Amino acid sequence: MTTTVRLAADKDTGVAVVTLDRPGRLNAIDLTMRDELREVWRELRFDDSVRAVVLTGAGERAFCTGLDRDAVVPQPSSPYMADDPLLRVGPKSNDLWKPVIAAVTGMACGGAFYLLGEADFLVADPTAAFFDPHTTYGMVSAYESVLLAQRMPYGEVARMMLMGTAERLSAERAHAIGLVSELTAPGGALAAATECATVLAGYPAEGVQGTVRALWAARESAVAAGFAQAPHLIALGNLPGERQAELFAGRGKGFRTR
């Protein structure tokens, strides 16, 4: 079976590196990767030898470009019971309270924010670029917007989510507004994130994990309230699939980076 997620754990340092491994598809998440990510988070939850985690993407072009557009997602007939395939793809959604540091190189967009929104902090290569294509293709950015609204100033996240594919947030700008905690030299994001994770893994685990849980507690009530509204907003605002496909096929290639 093809593995779409690589897990490498260093028992000496206590750090595990989780790598999204579909570089030919810009690390887009298909249903196999979705399931493997959930399995990895649950495995790490019970592995006491791992005390900190780094999340990254294979290749230089993208950290992750969200849900693979070729993924076939079965849906119930009623729109009021629509299933979001990425809703439980992140570490916090799988009750992993060990610190997760994201190392971002290249594009991070759309469904990537389910993962980045549940990371504890982000380290970025200068090539990192963040955007959300939903509105361009007649879709509501709901869950992604809720998660990113907890990490960025309101005006910045609103602009990114509403501008769709017309703009990309550069690594420099993401660092300036606090989405990214460290901007590294070219090619240095994974090493920098691993260095931070090694420090955290060297501290008493109970204190670190309790702090992670406390930090998430400060955000989770707002996330839960936003998520409760999301299915209704998506049902009301998303165009039919065939119309989305038309918009995607006719999309412009140009964009502004700020």
Please state, in angstroms and rounded to a whole number, the distance separating the CA atoms of residues 68 and 189.
Answer: 24
Closest alpha carbon to 139 in 68, 229, 244, 248? 244
Token readout for 33 is 């990767």
Higher pLDDT, 72 or 128: 128
Name the residue type at position 221.
S
- Give 87-108 pLDDT, tens digit per residue: 999 999 999 999 999 999 999 9
**For residue 84, what pLDDT is reported?**
81
Please state, in angstroms and rounded to a whole number, the distance separating the CA atoms of residues 66 and 60.
Answer: 16
**For residue 205, what pLDDT is reported?**
98
What are the DSSP E strand ranges found in 153-224? Answer: 167-170, 182-183
HEC sequence for 3-51: CCEEEEEECCCCEEEEEECCHHHCCCECHHHHHHHHHHHHHHHCCCCCC
- Give 176-227 pLDDT, tens digit per residue: 999 999 999 999 999 999 999 999 999 999 999 999 999 999 999 999 999 9
**For residue 69, what pLDDT is reported?**
79
- Give 225-244 pLDDT, tens digit per residue: 999 999 999 989 999 989 99
Q: What pTM was estimated for this model as a whole?
A: 0.94
Name the residue type at position 230.
A
Phi, psi of 240 (to 5 degrees): -60, 155
Q: Please determine, for residue 29, whether its predicted confidence score (pLDDT) is greater than 60.
A: yes
The CATH fold of domain 5-185:
2-enoyl-CoA Hydratase; Chain A, domain 1 (3.90.226)
- Give 34-91 pLDDT, tens digit per residue: 999 999 999 999 999 999 999 999 999 999 999 997 776 666 666 555 568 899 999 9
% of the chain beyond a pLDDT of 70: 94
